[in-house]
Amino acid sequence: MIVFFSEKLVEATVGTSVRLGISTFLISVLVIGFDPENLSLGLVASYEGVTGIAVGTIMGSAMVAVALALGITAIIAPMKFEQVPIQIPLLTVASVVLFGVLSFDGLLSRLDGVMLLLGYCTAVWYMIYLGRRGLDVRPRGEAVETIEEGTGLSRWQSIAMLAGSLVAIIVGSEWVVWSSRELMDGFGLSDTLFGITILALLVSIEEVARELPAALKGRPEIAFGNVVGSVLAFFLCNAGIITLVRPVPISAEVFSFYLPISLGAVLFIALLMIQKSISRWSGLVLVLIYLLFFIRGFML
């Protein structure tokens, strides 16, 4: 229910945005990595006080997108890139570093949330600036399909779909949080471990479906756009909005293990992007990093 209506929400948002005069370039940048299902789940979890699930929708889901999905894609279809401005990979690293710095005191406060959102807006503005300077970031693949579907809606259809999808996503998120509590109690798992591993994987596994077909068709820039968009969306936008609802405590295990692994994965991908290629061996390393990220908590 969450995944289905999240897709409808994106279509409705695109349709509304086009009629408000927002450029398709900006829409494509936001659509590529934006995950309303993770954001809505994180918001509900934060509001309900299940902060481990909120952290999972940020960090665990980001690792599915940038490590597992990209790794599997590279193993099956190694990728080469024609144009990768060094500023873009470094932008993803800076996003995770900012998240880590603000988490250093063990709490993401509402002020931290404002700073994360400002960081996200700055990153989007910078990408628009690079686009005007010649960076070729055009709507492709899933993004262009979403834009076409969204622009085919009338104004009132867009508004009705937007409102209905929001209600359905919130209801679905409430159900997921409620059932997650039952599962965590039944299996004796902490909310952090459950949220950052099992729930994040279930909600975000569709990232593989976004990146793999593009690489198989010889369009690796779509996978690149999805990784960049996911890092910015999860660590800056989603984290900022979730924190505004309720300050999110960052546990010692998150700061000492999960966050460094996430930063290491993003840094490794940044180096690969700068080299303009992701080989099968690199893909295997990314999958192994994700398996370490996933299994470590259960081993302890």
Which CATH number characterizes residue 174's domain? 1.20.1420.30
For the chain, the domain total comes to 1
**Most confident stretch, 37-46, 82-91, 230-239:** 230-239
User: How many other CB atoms are there within 10 angstroms of residue 202's CB atom?
Assistant: 13
Range with the poorest average pLDDT among 6-15, 165-174, 214-223, 256-265: 214-223
Q: What is the pLDDT of residue 228?
A: 79
Q: What is the pLDDT of residue 291?
A: 93
d(CA 163, CA 12): 9
Residue 86 · residue 274 · CB < 8 Å? yes
Give 292's pLDDT tier (boundaries 50, 70, 90). Answer: very high
Residue 181 · residue 44 · CB < 8 Å? no
Helices 207-216 and 141-151: angle between axes, nearest 10 degrees: 110
Give 144's pLDDT tier (boundaries 50, 70, 90). Answer: very low
**Single-letter amino acid code for the residue at 125:** W
Range with the poorest average pLDDT among 86-100, 206-220, 247-261, 282-296: 206-220
Is the confidence at residue 98, as pLDDT, over 50?
yes
Mean pLDDT of 203-208: 67
- Domain boundaries, position 33: 2-299
Q: What is the pLDDT of residue 142?
A: 46
Is the confidence at residue 196, as pLDDT, over 70?
yes
d(CA 178, CA 45): 9
d(CA 219, CA 279): 15
Give 113's pLDDT tier (boundaries 50, 70, 90). Answer: very high
Q: What is the pLDDT of residue 216?
A: 58
pTM: 0.75
Residue for token pair 């940044």: 270
